[in-house]
Structures are given as C-alpha cells and as structure tokens.
Chains A and B, each alone.
Chain A
Amino acid sequence: MATQVSNRGSAKAPASSAAAPARPKRPRIPAVLLKFVIAVSSVFLVLYLVVHMIGNLQIFWGQTSINEYAIWLRTLLQPVLGWEGFVWVVRIVLAFAVIGHIWAATLLALRAKRARPVKYAAGNKVKGNYTTRTMRWGGVIVLLFIVYHILDLTVGTLNPHGEHLAVYENVTADFAPSRWYVTIWYVIALLAIFFHLRHGLWSAVQTFGWNSNKREPILKAIATGFSGLLVLGFLIVPISVTFGWI
C-alpha cells in the first residue's frame, strides 16, 4: 500500500515502519469496538427489560395469572429444551451480555483514567448532563441492585416468603407496607436504571453510527420517553403492593 501512494504517503511509510517495534503498546481492542460491545450487549439487556416489565404487569390480573405465567415461561419450547430450558437460555445470554457490558466499560474507564494523568485544578467545567456523568457509578448501583434482586425474587434467600414459583406471594410479602425500605431501595435502583437507559439508548444509536444532528433531539426524546415508560411499568408493581392496591 505504501508504494502506490504519492508524496504524502511517503511521509507515512517511515512512520509506520518506525511504529512497528512499538506495536505491543497498542491497546488490543480499539475503543470504538469496545463501545460496540457495550451497545450490542445493551440491545439484549433492553429487550429483556421490556419483556420482564410486561410480564410483571400480570400481577394486576391476580395471583393465578402471574403464577401461571411463571410456569408457562418454563414450559416454553419444553419439547426441545426441557423444563425451564428456555429460561436458562435467556439467563445465559443475559450473563454474557452483562459480562461483556461491564468488561468493555471497565476497560474504557481505565483508559480514560490513563488518558488524563493530571487533573484540572479548576475542575473540568464543560457542561455535561447529569445522566452522562453518572453512567459509571450509576452502572455500579444497577449491578448491585441486580445481585440483590436475583437473591430476592429469583433465588429467594432475601425474600420473607421465598418460595419457588409462588411469584404472587413472594412479591406481596417482599413489598409489604412493613418492609417500606425495600420498596424505597427498588425505587432508587429503578431511578438509576432510568438515568442509565436515558443516556445509554441514545448513546447506542450513536455507537452504531446511526445518529445525525437532525435526528439527535428526536432520538434523545424517544430515549427519555421509552426509559420513562419502562421504569414506570416496573415501579408500579412494588408501589402498588406497598400501598395495598394489590
């Protein structure tokens, strides 16, 4: 390639040959690809959240409705995958998505730290909005919440009722008025998810290369609206239980 390029290309030729011995210092994965990993994994996570949120709403149709929904999920594709097989496929895909998401984000955070060894004495005052500034620590809160949530309503160890497949009983016991602090914790975590998604959804579009100046305000509005609806759909269940509406 260096041979066919004219004058200016020759300026590159020695540069690239000189760069050859310094090759090991190159970050193995370009940051653009790391962002791509974050965006692709987030697609799986967001799709899961949508299904999860809609499934939760079954609780408003009564005890049998949601408990049968839990059983139905485990009978999905049963002839092929066996009892609960489908659920495990989803869990494994999600586990890969979560690990990839966190791995790429951690690498980017470490690189960001290295890219500015000396901080500004007056602070970095360039206006960034709240959501973008809290992606990293907000993400950690969301991760802690996911761990708690699995122990609470999947495994059942942190749940006062904690009986497998007794979804209605577990949820109503979990968010009972006397356990108001659990409800508050869920509300805080869901707000963190709202902020994370609000930036994340738009950011994924930008990472896939589909953003433009014209589309940006519309995309951001859609991201905010979508995250808002999703989180409201989740919030309504614990709040309804705590206030005795279920």
Chain B
Amino acid sequence: MKVNLRVWRQKDAVDKGRMVSYVVEDASEDMSFLELLDVLNEKLILSGEEPVAFDHDCREGICGTCSMVVDGHPHGPEKATTVCQLHMRKFADGSTITVEPFRAGAFPVIKDLVVDRGAFDKIIQAGGYISANTGSAPEAHSTPVPKANADRSFAAANCIGCGACVAACPNGSASLFLGAKLTHLGEMPQGQPERWERVVNMVETHDDAGFGGCTNTGACATACPKEIPLDVISQLNHDYLKATVGGRRKKA
C-alpha cells in the first residue's frame, strides 16, 4: 500500500522545526506504524538523508517509550493501542498521515518526534515510591489486601507513563498520570504511611514542571493506551483536598 506521510522534522531542541512530506510506496498492511517509519528511514539513509528520530523500545505495547501523535491522536486513532501496536491495515491505501511529537511545554522536543519526558521522572521522584525495609521479604499473608482495592490498584498500575494523557489534554495536564500513580499506591496498605505527603509533593512537582490544570474534559482517558480510568483524577482531587484543606498532612 502507498502512504503519504507528513512528518515533523526538527534538527535539535533549538531548531524551529517544520512538517516534511514523504511518500512510502511499498508499505505492507501487516506493518506496525513504527515499522513503516523504519522503512521510511532505510530509504532516507540510502539517499543520504537524516533518518526520522523517534522513541521506541519494546514494540509490544508495554514499555511506554513510543510517543507520537498520528493524525491528531496520541498513539494514533486506534483505541487502547500504543503506536507500536498500531497496524497499517487500519489506514486506507493512499491516505495522508500527519505525524507529530507529543506537544507540551513540559515535554520539550529533543529531535524530530523525540520529546524529553523527564518531567514524569521528577513527579515519580517526588512521591511515586513507598519506603520499605529491604533484605527480608515479609510473609505475604501478613498484609491482606481486599480484592476490590487490589483490582483498582492494578487498573491504575497499568499506566506505562507514556505521556499520551498530556499530549491529548487540551490543558496540557498530566493529571491522569498523577492520579494513576496516586491510586496505584493509595489503594494498597503499603502506600498509606506516605499517602498525604505523597499527594501534595507530587501535585506541586507536577505544577512546577509546567503542566496545566485539569478541567475534567476526559480527553486523557480516551487517549490512554492502557485505558486508565478517569476516576483516578477524582481520587487525586480527593486525596489532595483531604491532605491540605482536610489537614491530614502532618508537617514534620
């Protein structure tokens, strides 16, 4: 199949960048979208041009590395699918596809389609952990977890931290990511000691990084390749208000 690509090309972080059109004549329907870019890149290399830089790692939809906006949808128009698992059979022969990096002030473009998602690491450093003694594994039955809590925690822990929620959000907010991490730890007994401290620190770091504020549009949950439920943001609001307005956070 033939595909017309419009790809964002940007030499480095300071370059202004522009859309460049390419035609891939010999694409196969069974290719993933990243394989299509591989084919394009091989052609570019053979013709002495700079290949299109893009992030990728596992290519099986679980690592959260691939990150691009295809036709205005983060990870492409397919629901609950990362762009590495998006196949060309989902596109019509001869269609024109626009490929851009995730757009957010907190995700500066490094090159072409690669953005720096270090802001997510800072948010995790601010509270995405629990403090536990290492060395001796505790007896598994000593801390029972109700099934409903475990299920909700697991649903939130599906988050692969790809940043599609930020890319989709009209406010450029990372609230779905934030809510996923807080729910994942907050539903577990192990997450309780630092629960109120965690939410305040993570929210502050999130706002510091330049992410916008949530206005409950729900675009994040629609775009999320791991279908993180929107109510994790309700959990985030709940915990934050309880910690601050409700005075649960004890200042050391």
On A, residues with C-beta under 8 Å from B are: 1, 4-9, 11-12, 15, 19, 22, 25-27, 30-36, 108, 111-112, 114-129, 132-133, 135, 199, 202-203, 205-213, 216
Contacts and interface: CB of A to CB of B under 8 A. Distances in A.
23 contacts: A1-B197, A9-B129, A15-B125, A19-B208, A35-B213, A111-B212, A112-B170, A112-B172, A115-B172, A115-B211, A120-B69, A121-B19, A122-B100, A126-B222, A126-B223, A128-B219, A132-B217, A199-B216, A206-B230, A208-B238, A210-B234, A213-B230, A216-B231
Contact of A15 (B122, B218, B237): B122
A213 B132 CA distance: 31
Nearest to A2: B252
Closest 8 CB pairs between A and B? A209-B238, A31-B213, A115-B172, A125-B72, A115-B212, A112-B171, A211-B234, A122-B98
Contact of A132 (B104, B216, B223): B216
A120 B171 contact: no
B180 interface: no
The CB with the most chain B CB atoms within 10 A, among A30, A108, A129, is that of A30
Contact of B241 (A116, A208, A212, A216): A208
Nearest to B71: A122
Contacts of B6: 121
Contact of A26 (B72, B207, B212, B237): B207
Interface string B200-242: 0001100110111111111100110000011101111111111
B234 A128 contact: no
Contacts of B72: 120, 122-126
Contact of A111 (B74, B171, B238, B242): B171
Contacts of B222: 126-128
A207 B223 contact: no
Nearest to A31: B213
